């Protein structure tokens, strides 16, 4: 069982490394430039070199920070990420909960404490504003995420990842508007462009992670991209999964390319528009869809 979990974690780390490299390559071609091409063949080893650089850099703590919370908050992100990835029922892992999606929602909601702790512990105005933004954003879209998940889960009569990984359900045609809304919610949950208000480089320098470097920044970076891949896998499992586990994982990774295209295409929203999208338009769409399925 231990080797199964290690396999999951190592695979996730390798996937995140190559996803970041692919993102830099795709964005460079969209912007008509070369991109990273110095380390290794076609620059493919650049991501590994960057990861090694972050690991060997000196560990620093802001002198005016709350040191325990400053160091613990990035580690909380990684812990949550490692735990939720263990919910995927690989053949080498013999523990599979019948409440997998419910457990995921519970642990995913803990990410807000990581964002708040990272920003507040630095005792800096930029990091505090970024953490407050990120926390309110994550809480708002968690409510919408729960409502979107209800529809495919209710039709399948199961909360277990095992059912979706090995039996396959095709709900994309039935729930196409909700599948698009799920991707929007995923962007907001992971604080990605065009909803990256917790970082907001143009007005907050780098937001909640301004004071972080070396290993702490690597943990925050890993948590963000790991959550992106996992949310995309959930999207594929819920809306167009197959009975072959490997194809479901590959499909989820392919869906994560849409996050790269969104970052390369759309400008950053205004913050009030982001909240309006969640509490007005998102909830309105879910309510209309519920009434449609109920009466028609």
pLDDT of residue 196: 79
> Helix 214-240 to helix 257-265 angle, to the nearest 10 degrees?
110
Tokens of 86: 């263990």
In the predicted model, is pLDDT for residue 84 greater than 50?
yes
C-alpha 82/C-alpha 94 separation (Å) is: 17
> What DSSP character marks residue 195?
S
Highest mean pLDDT among 139-148, 193-202, 265-274: 139-148
DSSP secondary structure letter of residue 122: T
Kindly report the backbone phi and psi dihedral angles of residue 289, in degrees, each rounded to the nearest multiple of 5, phi listed first: -65, -40
Query: Where residue 1 falls among pLDDT bands split at 50, 70, 90?
Result: low
Assigned token pair, 123: 């005792």
CB-CB neighbours of 94 under 10 Å:
9
- Look up residue 276 and give its two tokens: 């309006």
Place 200 in a pLDDT band, splitting at 50, 70 and 90: low
| pTM given for the model | 0.88
Structural domain spans, the chain: 62-295
Q: Which of 115-119, 129-133, 184-188 has the highest mean pLDDT?
A: 184-188
Phi/psi for 198 (5° steps) reads: -70, -20
């Amino acid at each position: 069982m231990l080797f199964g979990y290690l396999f999951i974690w190592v695979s996730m780390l390798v996937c995140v490394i190559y996803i970041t490299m692919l993102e830099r390559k795709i964005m460079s071609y969209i912007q008509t430039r070369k991109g990273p091409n110095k380390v290794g063949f076609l620059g493919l080893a650049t991501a590994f070199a960057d990861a090694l650089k972050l690991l060997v850099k000196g560990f620093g703590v802001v002198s005016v920070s709350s040191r325990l919370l400053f160091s613990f908050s990035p580690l909380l992100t990684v812990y949550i990420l490692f735990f939720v990835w263990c919910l995927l029922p690989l053949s080498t892992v013999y523990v599979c909960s019948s409440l997998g999606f419910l457990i995921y929602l519970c642990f995913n909601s803990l990410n807000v404490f990581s964002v708040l702790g990272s920003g507040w512990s630095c005792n800096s105005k930029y990091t505090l504003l970024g953490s407050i933004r990120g926390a309110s954003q994550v809480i708002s879209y968690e409510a919408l995420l729960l409502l979107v998940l209800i529809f495919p889960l209710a039709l399948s009569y199961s909360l277990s990842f095992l059912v979706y990984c090995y039996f396959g359900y095709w709900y994309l045609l039935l729930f196409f508007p909700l599948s698009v809304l799920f991707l929007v919610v995923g962007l907001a949950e992971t604080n990605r462009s065009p909803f990256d208000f917790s970082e907001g480089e143009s007005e907050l320098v780098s937001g909640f992670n301004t004071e972080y470097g070396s290993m702490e920044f690597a943990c925050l970076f890993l948590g963000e991209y790991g959550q992106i891949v996992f949310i995309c896998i959930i999207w594929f499992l819920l809306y167009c999964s197959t009975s072959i586990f490997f194809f479901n994982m590959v499909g989820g990774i392919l869906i994560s390319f849409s996050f790269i295209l969104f970052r390369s295409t759309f400008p950053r929203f205004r913050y009030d528009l982001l909240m309006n999208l969640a509490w007005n338009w998102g909830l309105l769409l879910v309510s209309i869809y519920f009434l449609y399925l109920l009466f028609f």
